[in-house]
Amino acid sequence: MAKTDKQLHIAMFPWLAMGHIYPNFELAKIFAQKGHSITLISTPRNIGRLPQVPSHLEHLIKLVSLPILPKHRENLPDNAESSNDITPNQIPYLKMAYDGLQESLSQLLKSSPPDWILYDFASEWLPPLARSLQVQCVFFGISPAWNICFFDTPKAQLGNAAAFRTKPEDYLRPPQWVPFHSNIGLKPYEVKKMFEGISDKETGNTVSFNFNKAVSDCDFFSFRSCNELESEWLNLLAEIYKKPVAPVGVIPPSCQVRVVDEEDNNTEWLKIKSWLDKQQPGSVVYIAFGSELELGQQDLTELALGLELSGLPFFWALKKQRDSSVDLPDGFQDRISDRGVVCKDWVPQLKILAHESIGVYFTHCGPGSVIEGLHFGRVLVMLPYLLDQALFARVLEEKKLGIEIPRNEEDGSFTRNSVAKSLRLALIDVEGSIYREKAKKMGLLFSDKDRHEEYINKFLERLQNNKAPSKN
């Protein structure tokens, strides 16, 4: 990647979740490749979880650890520093810990002021802090812009028009400030989850994210997204908030900066590859639900039996459950041993998705997972659990890029029959051909390295053209 003019010092302060930290890390390496100095800030354990910085970029990328002080660790498990380390009801305490980093972050920015800082949805206090230190800030969303357009009620920006969304049922459909046709919206069980909020049922403590304040105070917006995916939403966001929007592209695997790949000769990969090599091209369902999601027993059972009922070959990267009582149905692995693999260890996901035998990616719709699946032109079968994942599923289904598993709209349950039917539609049914065609076309766009490097260059040009005066 060619270097760009005017070397910048860019700081990054993502939310305490590896699904947020990893995209910032990948972006940091891309910026450093172009000659810019990067300071990526998180907590010690999260920094320790990051892969090795390529040796040729070590002089440009500084990974800074800000410890969580004991007074801000109330009710968090020992050593918990990320959403990976806790249960959903402990999110309020992780937010308190994140907010508790404000003082040490302030000292860091004073001692080594960056030109810009990229911040996340959870640090609504950061823009005023940055402004007081004459540091410009960018709201960087790892998910598409449609999340803000949907979830944030822009009262200050739209005045009385926003008052019409006051009831839970208003979230079942697009908000009235969306001027174009869209099927975006939540299901009744998701709306119930949203209004219940994230809370610790034992203590009653709840978490509060001031979304409007976080997004309203930035100098401009950026997203891990692109016009090919959501030009209408990016334009709407700019219109509502009267701020520039400069996406960085989707940061597909082809654009990411990696150390020497040692997986090619990895024993476990060679075993997986040997199995995949024996399957027909485009015939296999790959199933993975990220590093954090843990399925309950009912969902795990229905999913497994749906795979069995589908009759399709599959490779399932199944995360080990914290609850040891949650397990696959009795006899399941014996019955599917001739056409299915269940792997409970780490797997090289990108290599699997890139293999010609994979036809469908069965996913929870985490942003990184969606991008990886579409990068390789795979049809997505979607089973979202978080609210941003739900919106991803609605938009992708509307665009005929994926098929969402039908669920009971009151409690979110699903059946083995719906799993089997959705998988067969995506992979082999004639009616599913439109999904396969559109996924291949989107794959060509997502894997276009030059296209996405252009997004990076335009983003950096904006930073350079608005670079703050010297602080010396």
Domain shared by 213 and 278, yes or no: no
Q: Are residues 111 and 246 in the same domain?
A: yes
Are 74 and 117 in the same domain? yes
Domain count within the chain: 2
- Structure confidence at residue 3 (pLDDT): 60
At 294 the pLDDT is 87
- Residue 231 sits in the same domain as residue 301: no
Output the pLDDT for position 470: 46
Note whether 197 and 270 are same-domain residues.
Answer: no
pLDDT on residue 324: 76
> Looking at the domain assignment, is residue 101 inside a domain?
yes
In a domain, 258, yes or no: no
**Whose CA is closest to 397, among 182, 189, 181?**
182
Among candidate residues 26, 36, 19, the one with its CA nearest the CA of residue 461: 36
Question: Could you tell me if 107 and 218 lie in one domain?
Answer: yes
Task: Give the C-alpha separation, 284 to 321, whole Å.
Answer: 24
Residue 1 lies inside a defined structural domain of this protein: no
Residues 21, 141, single domain; the answer is yes
- Tell me the helices (H) and strands (E) count for the chain, helix number first: 19, 12
pLDDT of residue 205: 66
292 and 242 inside one domain? no
Helix (H, G, I), strand (E, B) or coil at 203: coil
pLDDT value for 265: 67
One-letter amino acid for residue 471 of the chain: K
Taking the C-alpha atoms of residue 59 and residue 240, their distance in angstroms, rounded to an integer, is: 40
CA dihedral 306, 307, 310, 312 (to 10 degrees): 170
Residue 35 forms part of a structural domain? yes
Q: CA distances (Å), 129 to each of 103, 126, 187, in order?
A: 10, 5, 37
Alpha-carbon distances of 412 from 64, 131, 189, rounded to whole Å? 41, 43, 6
Residues 216 and 200 occupy one common structural domain: yes
Q: Among all residues, which ones are annotated catalytic?
A: 20, 120
Residues 161 and 288 in one domain: no
- In this prediction, residue 198 carries a pLDDT of 62
Task: Return all residues near 94 (Cβ < 8 A) that are at least 6 apart.
Answer: 16, 76, 80, 82, 83, 86
What are the strands, taking DSSP E only, across 154-264?
Answer: 220-223
pLDDT in tens for each of the 472 residues of the chain? 556 568 999 999 999 999 999 999 999 999 999 999 999 999 999 999 999 999 999 999 999 999 999 999 988 999 999 998 998 889 999 999 999 999 999 999 999 999 999 999 999 999 999 999 999 999 999 999 999 999 988 888 887 666 678 788 999 999 989 999 999 999 999 999 888 766 556 666 666 678 888 998 999 999 999 999 999 999 999 999 999 999 999 998 877 876 555 556 688 899 999 999 999 999 999 999 988 888 999 999 999 999 999 999 999 999 877 777 889 999 999 999 999 999 998 899 999 999 999 999 999 999 999 999 999 999 999 999 999 999 999 999 999 999 999 999 999 999 999 999 999 999 999 999 999 999 999 999 999 999 999 999 999 999 999 764 444 4
Range of the domain at 316: 263-446
Q: Say if residue 272 is in the same domain as residue 418.
A: yes
Selection from 271, 252, 230, 233 nearest residue 378 by Cα: 252
Question: Rounded distance, CA 233 to CA 181, Å?
Answer: 11
Q: What is the pLDDT of residue 2?
A: 58
Q: Are 60 and 37 in contact (CB under 8 A)?
A: yes
Assess whether 305 and 411 both reside in one domain: yes
Give me the pLDDT at residue 472, please.
41
Distance in angstroms (rounded) separating the CA atoms of residues 381 and 194:
24
Question: Does 300 map to a domain?
Answer: yes
Residue 76 within a domain: yes
Q: What pTM did the predictor assign? A: 0.91
Residue 4 within any structural domain of the chain? no
CATH value at residue 375: 3.40.50.2000
Which candidate, 199, 171, 201, places its Cα nearest to that of 387?
171
Q: What is the DSSP letter of 245?
A: B
* Token digits of residue 401: 């890029």
Question: Given the DSSP bridges, would you call strands 136-141 and 314-317 parallel, antiparallel or unpaired?
Answer: unpaired
Whether residue 234 lies inside any domain: the answer is yes
